[in-house]
Amino acid sequence: MKLAVPTETRPGERRVAVVPEVAGRMVGAGIEVAVQSGAGAAAHFPDGAYLDKGATVADLTSVLEGADVVVRVQAPTPEEVRRCGEGTTLVSFLQPASQLPVVRGLLAQKATAFSLDLLPRISRAQSMDALSSQATVSGYLAALAAAQRLPKFFPMFMTAAGTVPPAKVLVLGAGVAGLQAIATARRLGAQVRAYDVRAAAKEEVQSLGAAFVELGLETQEGSGGYAREQSQEFLARQRELIGNEVAASDVVITTAAVPGRKAPLLVTTAMVERMAEGSVVVDMAADGGGNVELTEPGADVEHNGVTVHGMANPPSGLPTHASFLYARNVFNFLSLIVAEGELRPDFDDEVVAGCCVVRAGEVVHAETAQLLAEESP
C-alpha cells in the first residue's frame, strides 16, 4: 500500500499531515510512504528527516502516482482531487458541508474520503481526534496572543516599586481549546473566569483553578461530543448577561465554535466599547465567522483603545507540535482502516462509518448528500 503526503497549499498553512517519526512507524507497518519534497519544511521537518525514516521524497506527480491513500491536513482543492488517481482514499479535515465542489470532485474520481472533523467522539476514538489535538494548540496560542498584546503583566508582581495586580482574563467557551486557554493563562498567573453553555464545563473550569461565571441561563448540550447551535434568542440573552463580565476584564478570549455552522456572536461592538483602554480580545473562532462583531480574521483591529485579534488558522502557528499530534491522530486512524499493510476499512465500525463522507464514489454522509441534492437543479 502506498501513502502519499502532499505539501499543504492553503495560504499560510504550515502544518504537514505526516511527520518523520510517524512516517517511520508507517514504514514499520509495511506502508510505502511518499512525501512531496518540502512538505514538512514549514513545520521544520526537512526532506532528509523523512528519508532517514525510510520514506521516499519526490515531486507531487511521482508522490501521487499509484497512491492508495492521500493524507492531508486541509481539504484538497478540486484541482488537487483531479490529480489523484481514480479510487484513491483521502484522509484529512474536509468539512464537507462547506466543500461541496471538492466532494463532487471526489465523486467523479470514485474516491473514498474520511473527514477527521466528523469522527465520532467516543472514548475509543480519542487517540484519532484531530479536532481536539489541534484545539489544544489553538487554546494555548490564544492565551499567548492575548498576553503578548496586553500592555500589562498577566501575573501579580510584588516589587520594591509597588504591587501589580494580576490580569483579569475571561474565557468564553470552555471546550478543548477554551480549557487549554484557561490552563495557559493560569500558568502565566492571570486571574481567570470562564463561561460555557454546557453543564459539564463548570466542573472542568473549576478543576483548572478558574472561576465559573453563572449567568442563570439554561444549559445546552450537543450530541456526540459536538457543540449544538443556540437560538438567536438565547444568544441575545447571553450577550445581555455577560456584558458586565466583559467590561470588567483586561482580556477576553472567545473559543465558541459550532462545527459546520457560523460561530455564534458572543461579543458585540457595544460590549467592546465598555472595556478599559488597552484591553485585548482574542477571537479564536475568527475563521468560522467570529464570536466578536469587530473581528477580522488574521488581523488586529483597534477600537476605542481595545485590540481585537482575529486568530486565523491558529494551529498553524505552532506547526511542529500541531503536525506531530495530527500525524499521530492520522496514524491511529489508519490502524483502523489498514490491516497487514493493505487498505481494509470496516464500514460496520461506527468510527470508520461515522467520518466517511464518500465511499467508492458514493456520498454516504447524510448531511452532505442532502446539501448536494439541494444544489442540483
Ligand X SMILES: NC(=O)c1ccc[n+]([C@@H]2O[C@H](COP(=O)([O-])OP(=O)(O)OC[C@H]3O[C@@H](n4cnc5c(N)ncnc54)[C@H](O)[C@@H]3O)[C@@H](O)[C@H]2O)c1
Catalytic residue numbers, as ranges: 121, 126, 129, 132, 226
**Footprint (CB under 6 A) of ligand X, residues 187-216:** 195-198, 200-201
Asked if 175 interacts with ligand X (CB under 6 A), we say: yes
Asked if 177 interacts with ligand X (CB under 6 A), we say: yes
> Using CB under 6 A, which of 113, 144, 174, 355 touches ligand X?
174
Cell numbers at 207, concatenated = 478543576
Name the burial class of residue 54, with classes exposed (0-12), middle (13-18) and buried (19+) by CB atoms within 10 angstroms of its CB.
middle
Which residue is nearest to ligand X, using beta carbons? 175
- Decide whether 55 or 194 has the Cβ nearer to ligand X: 194
Provide CB contacts within 8 A for 169, sequence distance 6+.
Answer: 143, 146, 154, 185, 190, 191, 192, 193, 249, 250, 251, 252, 253
Tell me which residue has cell 468510527: 351
Cell numbers at 361, concatenated = 464514489
> Nearest distance from residue 35's CB to ligand X, in Å?
29
- Using the rule CB under 6 A, give the single segment among 23-31, 152-160, 167-175, 334-342 that binds ligand X: 167-175
Name the burial class of residue 324, with classes exposed (0-12), middle (13-18) and buried (19+) by CB atoms within 10 angstroms of its CB.
buried
> Using CB under 6 A, which of 257, 282, 308, 355 touches ligand X?
257
> Nearest distance from residue 104's CB to ligand X, in Å?
27
Q: How far apart are CA 139 and CA 137, in angstroms?
A: 6
- Three-state SS at 68: coil
Tally Cβ neighbours within 10 Å of residue 318. Answer: 21
x-marked contacts with ligand X along 112-141 as a string, rule CB under 6 A: ---------x----x--x-xx--x------
> Using CB under 6 A, which of 54, 155, 189, 225 touches ligand X?
225
* Chain contacts with ligand X (rule: CB under 6 A): 121, 126, 129, 131-132, 135, 172-178, 195-198, 200-201, 225-227, 230, 235, 238, 255-259, 264, 266
